[in-house]
Structure formats: C-alpha cells, structure tokens
Amino acid sequence: MQSAQASDGQRGDPGTEFSWGSNREGQLGDDATIDYSRTPVRVCGASPCSSPLDRVVAVAAGDRHTTALRADGTVWTWGANFHGELGDGTKVQRSAPVQVCAVGQTAPCNSFLSGVIAVAAGDGHNLAVRADGTVVAWGLNAVGQLGDGTSDNERLTPVQVCAPDQSDCAANPLTGVTAIAAGGSHSLALQSNSRALGWGYNTFGQVGDGTQIPRSTPVGVLSRVTDIAAGDLHSLAVLSDGTARSWGDNIFGQLGDGTTDRRLRPVPVCAVGQTSCATNPLTGVTAIAAGNEHSLAVLSDRTARSWGSNDAGQLGDGTTDRRLTPVPVCAVGQTSCAANPLTGVTAIAASAGDAGTGLGHSLAVVNGTVHSWGANLSGQLGDGSTVGQRNTPVKACASGLTAPCRYSLSGVTAIAAGDQYSLALTRPTADLALALSGVPDSVVSGANLTYTVTVTNHGPTDAENVQFNNTLPPDARFVSASSGQGSCKVPPVGSSDTVTCSLGSLEGGAQATAQIVVRVVAARGGVVTDSAKVSSTTPDPNEVNNTATIVTPVR
C-alpha cells in the first residue's frame, strides 16, 4: 500500500511510467496479456498501445490495480476492477489506462476527475486529493474505507470524503488535506495543521483511535505529523521531531516497537538494537513505507531501515529472520548491513497485497536507480530473473533488457510496490553524441565534399524529438541532403545556410546518420569548416559531446 505526499502536479517533473512483475490482471498497463515481465515495460497511453503514458507526476500501486496522476491533474487507472477500483464506472478489467470519472458520474462518463494533486491506492480502493484540499475516494467500501459516511459495498466512481463527525459529505467535506495513504481496507489523511486522520477497517486498531470499531468517516489520530503510510493492517507516521509512530496489527513485528502486541493507538518505533522505544526511539526519519507485514524508513543520512516480516527477504538485511525492531538495509552485494548499508536512498516503497502470502518485496530509489529486494517469483524485482527471492538489494534493469542486464533503469523519481509487481516513474535522460566526418579528406576547389553526420544515443532511455543543425561553411554551396531517419529542412541549392534534420525518436544505444553534400568555392590553400549541434526534448546531462566541428583543407 502506498502513501502519497500531495504536491502541485502542475509544477511537478512529468515523466514516463514503467512497470514490471505480475500482470495477470493487466496491472502493468502495457496492453498485454502476458502473465509477468522480468524487466520494466512502458505503460501505454491507451488501448490499442501506440504511445506511452507520459507527463505522469505520481504513481500508486494497489493490490492488483494501478493509479497514475498526470501533470494536467487528471487520474488514470488500470488492472483489476472487481469493486470499481478503476473509477471508470464499470467493473471491467483494463490492461491499459482509462480515465477516472468525475464525482457523481455513471458509465459511460462524460466528465472526468480533475484538479488532483495526489493519489493513493489500497487493496480495492483509491483516494485522491484535489487542489482545494478535499479528498475523493472510489472502489470497495465494505468497511467504510471510502469515508463517505456509508458502508455501501462499492462505489464505481468517486465520492466525496466527509469531514469528521459529518454524514453530508457534499455540504461538509474533509478539507485542508496535504497527504493521503490507502491501506488494505483503511485510509489515512494528513491535514495542513499536521493532524493525522483515519477511517475504515479497524479490527486490528489500524485506524489508531484507540478502538476496534470500523469508521465510515474520518477520526483524529495524531498531531505533529509530517508523513503517513498505510499497510495492510497497520499504519505509520513520522513526527516533526523525526521520530516515527506505528499502530495496528503487529503479529510479525511490523510496528517496530520490540513486541508482537497489537496497538490501538500510536506507539514509538525503536532505534536499531533497542527495545525500550519511548526512551530510545528511531530518529532522523524523513520517509516511511508500510507493506503487508513489514515497514521501511529512510533516515536523514539517506540510509534505510526495515522491520517486521522477512520470510521472503523483504527487509533486505541478508537474512529471512523476523525483526521486531529496525535493522539497516544492506548495500548491493553486501551481507554485513551495519558496516555496509544501502546509502543514497531518496524514496522507498513496500509491497501491497493480501497479508500472509509470504510474497513481500521492497523498493528504493538510489541516485535515480531502482534497488529491490524480497520475493521475486513474478519478476517483481525487475532484475531480469524470477529467482525466488533476494535477501539483499539488486538493481532493476533498464527497459527491454534481459539478464544479465547491461544497464539499470535510471532517471527514476518515484516508485510504488503492488502485490507481486512494481512501478517506477522516470524522468527520461539521454546521452546524445554527434560526430562529423568528411569525404574526401582534402578537397579540390570547385569539387563536391560529402559530410556524414552521425548521432548516437548512449543513454538508457529513448531520446525524443532529436534534431541536429548543421551550419554550412561560408565557402561552400549546398547541393543536397539525405537522412536515413526522419527528414531534413534544407536551404536552396547553391546557397550557404543551415541544414536542419529532425530524426524523431532515437532509442538508447541506437544511431542515425545523415549525409550533406556541398560544393567547395574556397580558394586553393584555404579551408572549409563545418559544424553541427544535436538536441532533444529529453534531458541530456552530458551535453559536452552534442557538438562537433570538422576542418577540411582545400587544394
């Protein structure tokens, strides 16, 4: 289950979404029917799949369905739809994204949810925060997890979440929300006054109000909160002092308080190696994630901690031992985690899905790459294998590769972990290199000179809208131009100007060439100088090799 910190999607870094792992319900969104993918595939924009889903600013993974927020504030979903969790007004499974309907719509919808700034996905339900701080929800509602004051079985399109102690949600909506989290069958929200609220299934105390009574509208839980996360049957929060709190089910130690006791109200998470959590709490916490039966945290030094169930190695500490208090996550290839911890962590995710499956896995973003560990029977770790489990982190492959992978998925800005599948949002990066050559090596005045422009993408992702400008020598006259890919805009024959060739998309590792023929008019003993520059709408962090110049003697 995933928490989602609200941010202005209009100002986010839009990217492309990738997915890998189980696909039995279409949750990878690639419009395919394969059971699973061992390495990342691009999520489609729609069915039939002709272009990728782009301009995505946030992702969330439920049990077997996926939710994405685009930069225009619209929400798109795909995968399982048993209870209306896709929000399109139907119960039809989708293997490619569909748009979530507006509040009050029925299928076929003619208006759609908009103005959204954050999303969260639970087992069979979804949440979305709108720019005005209100929250809407859709999907399964058997225990009040939608927060609309009812326990109606399901909602096929979004409904308004009520304010605390209210039943007329349209007149009294929940407001001031800055973050949301969706658990197995419960929900959390964080308001701008740093107050955490909960509602839904509460048999294990996961709502956190001190009772085991299901709540169909929000109730107050905790103050001074900066972040929240909801697992299958437990919940987590980060406080303003950098300590963490946990509550709910604890049979596997997922609360991290040194016990297996169920907690109906928040308790401190222990520091590493400690069992007296009130006096020795985990500190410096900046982010948290809650899975089925395990929990993760990122600390201010950008290392990660984990605790709870570990039967599939989902704690990443090199063992399969259950941990009742936090332990460090190992670096890649290491088993002594205290001495060699995973560092550079900027985001974490813990797998969603049914509790008790023994199939938990975890993800982390490290310097823009995805590190993964835990269960891998469906390829959910993305390393090109279906090795049963990994007890320490491995790197997820770049899209389209097979093990052993030469490149890792890079430029990753966000991640999410569902039931046996994973998601990543990337801000694509390219590494374009331009080379110039000329034939002949020296040219007779009045003769033709042929330039070959070669553009290579050394980057891990596609370069979009690739274009190069070739500035012709002033002592030469244009004759002709041809490109093996795309098209060229050329000056009139006999003139001296710029040739512009648009090459379209250039895959990682791919190459494109163009030839430009000029007639040399420079005097004998002189030189002609040709220069070119390549660009792309895909960010290129290594622009030093984007230009080239060639000087040819005239004889």
Q: What distance in Å separates the CA atoms of residue 536 and residue 181, rounded to the nearest whole number? A: 37
Mean pLDDT along residues 279-305: 97
SS3 310: coil
Place of tokens 């890792």: 408
pLDDT at residue 516 greater than cutoff 60: yes
The second-level CATH assignment, the architecture, of 3-426 is 7 Propeller (2.130)
Tens-place pLDDT, residues 122-168: 999 999 999 999 999 999 999 999 999 999 889 999 999 999 999 99
Confidence grade of residue 354 (pLDDT, cut at 50, 70, 90): low
Q: What distance in Å separates the CA atoms of residue 387 and residue 256, rounded to the nearest whole number? A: 29
CA torsion through residues 348, 354, 357, 359, sign = negative
Torsion of CA 315, 319, 325, 328, to 10 degrees: -60
SS3 101: strand
Q: What distance in Å separates the CA atoms of residue 270 and residue 279, rounded to the nearest whole number? A: 9
Mean pLDDT along residues 423-436: 89
Mean pLDDT along residues 405-422: 92
Selection from 306, 305, 309 nearest residue 293 by Cα: 309
Q: Please tell me what DSSP assigns to residue 440.
A: S
Residue 407 is predicted with a pLDDT of 86
**Contact 183/202 with Cβ under 8 angstroms?**
no
Confidence grade of residue 272 (pLDDT, cut at 50, 70, 90): very high
pLDDT at residue 8 greater than cutoff 50: no
Q: What distance in Å separates the CA atoms of residue 372 and residue 505, rounded to the nearest whole number? A: 30
pLDDT at residue 43 greater than cutoff 80: yes
Residue 355 is predicted with a pLDDT of 54
The CA-CA-CA angle for residues 98, 463, 413, to 5°, reads 60
Q: What distance in Å separates the CA atoms of residue 518 and residue 515, rounded to the nearest whole number? A: 10
Tell me how crowded residue 437 is: count the other CB atoms within 10 A of its CB.
13
pLDDT at residue 4 greater than cutoff 90: no
Mean pLDDT along residues 230-243: 98
Lowest mean pLDDT among 17-26, 68-77, 398-407: 398-407
Render 261-279 in DSSP notation, one character per residue. --EEEEEEPBPTT-S-TTT
The CA-CA-CA angle for residues 42, 53, 84, to 5°, reads 100
SS3 11: helix
pLDDT at residue 13 greater than cutoff 70: no
Percent of the chain with pLDDT over 90: 85
Place of tokens 């089910």: 249
Residue 542 vs residue 38, higher pLDDT: 38
Q: Establish whether the linkage from the previous residue to 440 is cis, with ω within 30° of 0.
A: yes
- CATH 2.60.40.1530 residue ranges in the chain? 432-553
Confidence grade of residue 5 (pLDDT, cut at 50, 70, 90): very low
Q: What distance in Å separates the CA atoms of residue 521 and residue 454, rounded to the nearest whole number? A: 25
Residue 6 is predicted with a pLDDT of 35
CATH of domain 432-553: 2.60.40.1530
Q: What distance in Å separates the CA atoms of residue 335 and residue 321, rounded to the nearest whole number? A: 13
* SS3 labels along 323-387: EEEEEECECCCCCCCCCCECCCEEEEEECCCCCCCCCCEEEEEECCEEEEEEECCCCCCCCCCCC
Instruction: Indicate the pTM of the whole model.
Output: 0.81
Confidence grade of residue 52 (pLDDT, cut at 50, 70, 90): confident
Tell me how crowded residue 36 is: count the other CB atoms within 10 A of its CB.
17
Residue 114 is predicted with a pLDDT of 97
- CATH 2.130.10.30 residue ranges in the chain? 3-426
Mean pLDDT along residues 407-416: 90
Percent of the chain with pLDDT over 70: 96
Q: What distance in Å separates the CA atoms of residue 500 and residue 507, rounded to the nearest whole number? A: 20
pLDDT at residue 353 greater than cutoff 80: no
Residue 14 is predicted with a pLDDT of 66
**Contact 307/295 with Cβ under 8 angstroms?**
yes
Place of tokens 């110049």: 549
Tell the burial category of 507 from Cβ atoms under 10 Å away from its Cβ (0-12, 13-18, 19+): middle
Place of tokens 């003697």: 553
Residue 538 is predicted with a pLDDT of 82
Lowest mean pLDDT among 103-107, 223-227, 401-405: 401-405
Tens-place pLDDT, residues 204-215: 999 999 999 999
How far from 509 is each of 368, 370, 397, 546, CA to CA, in Å? Answer: 19, 20, 15, 15
Average pLDDT, the chain: 93
Lowest mean pLDDT among 30-39, 292-301, 450-459, 481-490: 30-39
The CA-CA-CA angle for residues 522, 527, 530, to 5°, reads 100
